[in-house]
């Protein structure tokens, strides 16, 4: 006989998503073992070598400063964070979105210097149709509640780009994504862009460029996890 209770627990998120002990969040033991992104570029949150002085900038930010002001990315996009993100994105385990927002909220919900609005990185209409939801909007929705901030889910519109960003390097990604976002209203001055993962930063950079042109004066980027540089 099949016992359905674990499935129901799973659906409602009544257990740690990593080890399944009862509870509504990542349990303390699993939380302590998460791959935190402790030593990172102060602008783009790229993980830096241990020997880099604290609050350093990475080579890319020194050479070519990005369009956003600062990135908060508490976790590294490695095991088990990659699994959690995949469960949200591809298996539609929506409670994982709330759990990831909880982790991020612990780092951004400081009460000081908070943005006027949260703007999830938009998904294209085709992507929304095929996936059924936008994981960035899902994370932003929970973060908005936790931080008591408004969420402007419709501020950015994203056209379908001809090619996926997957497998492209930093420069190719920047070219590929140019012009895909449109800002539909004037944003308030201080915006936090929200997404699940930052890979090269090309998407956040392009969205920031569009928001700034539309009137935003400060753009923070809040993502759950940052991909370490390949190699």
- Residue ranges binding Zn ion (CB under 5 A): 16, 18-19, 27, 30, 41, 43-44, 46, 58, 61
Asked if residues 150 and 190 have their Cβ atoms less than 8 Å apart, the reply is no
Report d(CA 186, CA 223) in Å as an integer.
23
Question: Between residues 11 and 62, which has the closer beta carbon with respect to Zn ion?
Answer: 62
CB-nearer residue toward Zn ion: 58 or 191: 58
Residue pair 41/57 in contact by the 8 Å Cβ criterion: yes
Smallest separation (angstroms) from Zn ion to the CB of 204: 12
> What's the min distance (Å) between Cβ of 58 and Zn ion?
3
Q: Which residue lies nearer to Zn ion by CB, 31 or 127?
A: 31
Dist. CA 129–CA 122, nearest whole Å: 13
> How far apart are alpha carbons 231 and 229 in whole angstroms?
6
Distance CA 7, CA 15 (A): 11
- Structural contact between residues 108 and 222, judged by C-beta atoms closer than 8 angstroms: yes
CB of 5 to Zn ion, least distance (A): 18
Residue 27 or 70 having the CB closest to Zn ion: 27
| Distance between CA atoms of residues 53 and 210, nearest Å | 32
Closest approach, Cβ 42 to Zn ion, in A, equals 8
Report which of 34, 65, 15 is spatially closest to residue 224, judged by C-alpha positions: 34
- Looking at the Cβ atoms of 34 and 143, the one nearer to Zn ion is 34
Nearer residue to Zn ion within complex by CB, 14 or 128: 14
CB of 15 to Zn ion, least distance (A): 8
CB of 213 to Zn ion, least distance (A): 22
CB 112 within 8 A of CB 171: no
CA nearest neighbour of 220 among 89, 117, 75, 80: 117
């Amino acid at each position: 006989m099949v016992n359905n209770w674990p499935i129901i627990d799973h659906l409602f998120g009544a257990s740690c998503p990593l080890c399944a002990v009862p509870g509504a969040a990542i349990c303390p033991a699993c939380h302590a073992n998460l791959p935190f992104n402790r030593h990172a570029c102060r602008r783009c949150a790229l993980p830096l070598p241990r020997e880099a002085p604290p609050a350093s900038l990475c080579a890319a930010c020194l050479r070519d400063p990005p369009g956003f002001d600062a990135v908060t990315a508490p976790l590294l996009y490695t095991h088990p964070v990659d699994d959690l993100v995949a469960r949200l994105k591809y298996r539609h385990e929506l409670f994982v979105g709330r759990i990831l927002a909880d982790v991020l909220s612990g780092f951004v919900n400081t009460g000081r210097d908070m943005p006027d609005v949260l703007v999830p990185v938009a998904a294209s209409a085709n992507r929304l149709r095929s996936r059924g939801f936008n994981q960035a909007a899902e994370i932003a929705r929970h973060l908005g509640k936790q931080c008591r901030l408004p969420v402007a889910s419709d501020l950015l519109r994203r056209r379908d780009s001809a090619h996926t960003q997957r497998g492209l390097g930093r420069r190719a990604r920047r070219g590929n994504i140019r012009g895909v976002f449109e800002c539909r209203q004037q944003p308030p001055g201080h915006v936090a862009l929200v997404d699940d993962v930052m890979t090269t930063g090309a998407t956040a950079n392009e969205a920031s460029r569009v928001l700034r042109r539309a009137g935003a004066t400060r753009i923070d980027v809040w993502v759950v996890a940052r991909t370490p540089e390949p190699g």
